Chain A
Amino acid sequence: MTANKINRLTEIFTRHEKIMLEDWLREQLTALSARQDLISEPDLCRQSAEFLALFTPACRSGSLTDINSPEWKPVLDFLASVSRSRAIQGFSPSETATFVFSLKQTLLAHLRKELGQDAVALADEMWTATVLLDKLGLYTTEVFQKSREEIIKRQQMEMLELSTPVVKLWEGILAVPLIGTLDSSRTQVVMENLLQSIVDTGSRIAIVDITGVPIVDTLIAQNLLKTVAAARLMGAQCIICGIRPQIAQTMVHLGVAFGDVVTKATLADALAYAFRQIDCTVIQQAPRV
């Protein structure tokens, strides 16, 4: 019985490979009619042909119910690569799964043509085909989801790296321009970067510029104060600057205060204060005539 089953599905695939590929392509093109900007027809054709070329031998040699068997490995690998590339190209999960599910309609149509009279055999074959294609489709979606998660994770890491630079303004003066909200994990990164830079440059002053911080609530203020306290333990004085008028008002309303930390309106004011602290003067030359 089982051998029979395998033979029938495989038979259909081997005999009608050309026609099935055409039918399947037509199905896909109608389903993806709106997404022709993302993938070209020749590309889709190549992917489909390659899939069928791998699918048919897998059907012939392997079990039709267990896609985890080694015979199905090349098919799964190919599906994973298609799914991954589609995740990067910007397809939606259902559009990606359609790649496999659209084969179902073609396959069922051919099955009906072959086994039209034998209702029992037809039902059996349909069930096997459906289960198999469902499994493959779900696998595609799973890989798609995973690759999307990888992309998100990578972007998060990049953002974390990008948004926390520590720059040396002058001998003994560091600046930390903060952009974006300051949650606990980012505070940790900022703190580590700042403290390491203090050690590396031997700086006495650190200017924390919060012009790019959209909201300052009690939690963010506390995180800032932690950073200031840690820098102080390393022998560096912190100056907080770039508090926008709106934010200053909100902070006063909330009762948030930076305690005895020096605060300045702009980075320029903070730098001038820092120069005074390290006994450095900037002199405006008389204009040249």
Chain B
Amino acid sequence: MEQIPILQVGEFLLVSIQVDLHDRLVLRLQDDLTAQVVKKQAKGVLIDLSTVEIVDSFIGRMLGNMAALSQMLGAHAVVVGIRPAVAITIVELGLSLNNVHTALNVDKGIALLQTLVKQSSAEVRDEAYPL
């Protein structure tokens, strides 16, 4: 059965989607991703859509869900590499993905994740040792 690979890069997970997405595949990805975040204790998740050309409302919603699930499990999620046409489609579908961080490419996504992780660990320190 088809499966989208989830790669570990340092303390982050990289999900590079290189096939046409369909509903069942996305559902399976969601299961795999949540399992992997817990198993690897990942600090961040990168979802790379740079080769995805078609996104429908369900997949758009699932992207938001995956990001929310990752946040809940303690990993920041960044969606990277959205193409212009896909971005316009998502906006026209009325999905703003407001709670999802985005970046132009994987490189910038990793930089963003690093700052996000640094920020949250600083917050944790502040709470542990209040001035």
Contact = CB atoms under 8 A, between A and B. Distances in A.
A233 B104 contact: no
B17 to A, nearest CB: 15
A230 B86 CA distance: 9
B87 A234 contact: yes
B90 interface: yes
Contact of A235 (B80, B86, B88, B92): B80
Nearest to B80: A235
B83, B87, B104, B108 — most chain A CB neighbours (10 Å): B87
B59 to A, nearest CB: 14
A192 B104 contact: no
A226 interface: yes
Interface in B67-90: 79-80, 82-84, 86-88, 90
B18 interface: no
A234 B84 contact: yes
B4 to A, nearest CB: 20
B102 A234 contact: yes
B25 interface: no
B91 A233 contact: yes
Contacts of B103: 235
Contacts of B82: 233-235
B96 A234 contact: no
Contacts of A191: 84, 88
Contacts of B105: 202, 235
Interface in B101-121: 102-105, 108-109, 112
Contact of B84 (A192, A202, A226, A232): A192
Nearest to A260: B98
A234 B83 CA distance: 7
Contact of A195 (B79, B80, B88, B97): B88
A234 B90 CA distance: 11
Contacts of B108: 202, 204, 235
A233 B91 CA distance: 9
A199 B87 CA distance: 12
A236 B104 contact: yes
Interface residues of B, number: 20
B84 A196 contact: yes
A229 interface: yes
Contacts of A188: 88
Given A229-B91, A230-B91, A235 B84 contact: no
A94 B105 CA distance: 60
Contact of A234 (B92, B104, B112): B104
A198 interface: yes
B81 to A, nearest CB: 9
Nearest to B63: A233
Interface in A199-254: 199, 202, 204, 226, 229-236
Contacts of B80: 235
A206 to B, nearest CB: 12
A188, A192, A195, A235 — most chain B CB neighbours (10 Å): A235
A230 B104 contact: no
Contacts of B79: 233
A229 B102 contact: no
A196 B97 CA distance: 20
Interface string A13-55: 0000000000000000000000000000000000000000000
29 contacts: A188-B88, A192-B84, A192-B88, A195-B84, A195-B87, A195-B88, A196-B84, A198-B84, A202-B104, A202-B108, A204-B108, A226-B91, A230-B88, A230-B90, A231-B87, A232-B102, A233-B79, A233-B82, A233-B86, A233-B91, A233-B102, A234-B82, A234-B102, A234-B104, A235-B82, A235-B103, A235-B108, A235-B109, A235-B112
Interface of B: 79-80, 82-84, 86-88, 90-92, 96-97, 102-105, 108-109, 112
Interface of A: 188, 191-192, 195-196, 198-199, 202, 204, 226, 229-236
